Structure 1
């Protein structure tokens, strides 16, 4: 836990111990704890996770945790492309595709395989055609497959009102998904918090118009910040930072949350301090985005 706390502050002194733990076992095996390590420089953190992936016997949680953190490292995870690609035909395919997509062009060697999964030419045991198409687009720069699947899959889901799983995909497509603007706008009034949050984010990404989105996101954060903020709340805060200056009306609320003595409640228990640091980072990053 001490090493994890150092990592959570971005202290490079944590790296030797993390490398040792990755090689011999003992790194955190759940995603919330592992995410706090994202405070470290991405290239160094990616090297630790690559060692973890290569270690035999890490099992389910070891793989999913390493892939989760590698995705956070983005292009800096490029040296791990071969290790990640080796998970494409396994139960870890979804997480592996997310990592490859976040790496981008440096993972272009996997493009043909991703295209085969996206089009159904190859059907692995765990097929994720939409995620494969998204990854293919990010590694090649060609949105054709992603657009086709967005029209066929996400479009139908949006029109049916069951689209929380497809909205992030449309958000990534941005203006290319303009045909779905009207149904996405309607979903900003949907009953579910995930759907409302993702719909507001997607609407802004598709149209570039933050005016309808910001009030929806604000409603999710306030008064929902009750010491145990759900994932949609944190996603809404991150979106404020992406929107930037047009989300200035959210700044007083974010400052107010930062000023609270206890931002997180008891459910966090042993990882409370680390989770609080991650929470502070999310809030301050959003404010930096708003303030330019």
Structure 2
């Protein structure tokens, strides 16, 4: 159990309070409760100048032997700090994970690098070859990182469309985030509307809306509602798309209001108070959303 002092430090850091900084630095320098300090460090981006060197040194010596080693937590903390000065350390970590065939850890490094956007341009030489990786998870993470760093749909759309057959949910979502520039993927996404799994159908439908807009509402909305009906674990994803649809989602309002009237919300294996509250918020957002169509970020 952590000492009370460390619990206070962690709580202050979670609030972004710089009074936590001395305690975090002490923990990182001494190794006492350092795991807790790593988790909390990302909440103080204003102190990146002092935290980043300590975290990158630890990352250089981290355990890459398993996806649950210390490297993943350190990379996450560096990503939350948001300082592009961490990019070179992350590239080294990515290379180490690939060399040790730790695909999950390498994928985590790619996700963090992607979060830096164009600031991670120095990582392109390490990222680009991994778009042809044998491991589907690693390949998807590389394609996604490349898009966030370069923002070039000419490369991203065919790469993500090719990944639909290995991970239809994530690939569909990724294509949807590109938006109208991913129009070339629409024929493949339409094929998924008849897929056997509700998750696949709803993710494909949401992506079609995000790419083609309100003109596809008559196609997209029935698929979303049938998916929600057949598998209530899709509820959050469906509701998020309904918010983006704006007034085109009006035919779904009776189903949304019915959800609010239930004493136990949808969600299947996602049951829990936090999930339930999030679902309620999503339902209310759909009902009170402004008249203009939603957009996806």
Q: For this structure pair, what is the TM-score category when the shorter chain's length is used for normalisation? A: 0.5 to 0.7
Residues 210-245 of structure 1: per-residue CA shift (max 9 Å, x gap): 4111221122334744xxxx2x33222222223333
Q: Structure 1 or 2: larger helix share?
A: 2
Task: Report the 3-state secondary structure (helix = DSSP H, G, I; strand = E; otherwise coil) of the residue aligned with 1:180.
Answer: helix
Q: CA distance change for structure 1 residues 145 and 287 in 2, over 3 Å: closer, same or farther? A: same
Q: Is residue 2:116 matched to residue 1:103? A: yes
CA RMSD in angstroms, aligned pairs only = 5.1
Q: CA distance change for structure 1 residues 167 and 109 in 2, over 3 Å: closer, same or farther? A: same
The two structures have a TM-score, normalised by structure 1, of 0.63
Q: Is residue 2:210 matched to residue 1:208? A: no
Q: Is residue 2:203 matched to residue 1:198? A: yes
Distance 2:44 2:257 in 1: 28
Distance 1:285 1:69 in 2: 31
Query: Which of the residues 234, 248, 251 maps onto 1:249?
Result: 251
Distance 2:88 2:284 in 1: 35
8 Å contact 2:62–2:71 — kept in the other structure?
A: no
Distance 1:278 1:80 in 2: 33
The two structures have a TM-score, normalised by structure 2, of 0.62
Cα offset, 1:116, TM superposition:
2.8
Structure possessing the higher relative contact order (Cα contacts under 8 Å, 6 or more residues apart): 1
Counterpart residue number, 1:93: 106
Q: CA distance change for structure 1 residues 42 and 207 in 2, over 3 Å: closer, same or farther? A: farther
**After superposition, where does 1:144-159 map in structure 2 within 5 Å?**
144-150=154-160, 153-154=162-163, 157=165
What is the number of residues matched between the two proteins?
Answer: 265
Counterpart residue number, 1:240: 242
Q: CA distance change for structure 1 residues 268 and 138 in 2, over 3 Å: closer, same or farther? A: closer
Query: Which of the residues 210, 215, 225 maps onto 1:218?
Result: 225
Q: CA distance change for structure 1 residues 86 and 280 in 2, over 3 Å: closer, same or farther? A: farther
Distance 1:282 1:185 in 2: 26
Of structures 1 and 2, the larger Rg is shown by 2
Where structure 2 has 5 or more consecutive residues not aligned to the other structure, the ranges are 1-6, 293-297
Cα offset, 1:284, TM superposition:
4.9
8 Å contact 1:243–1:289 — kept in the other structure?
A: no
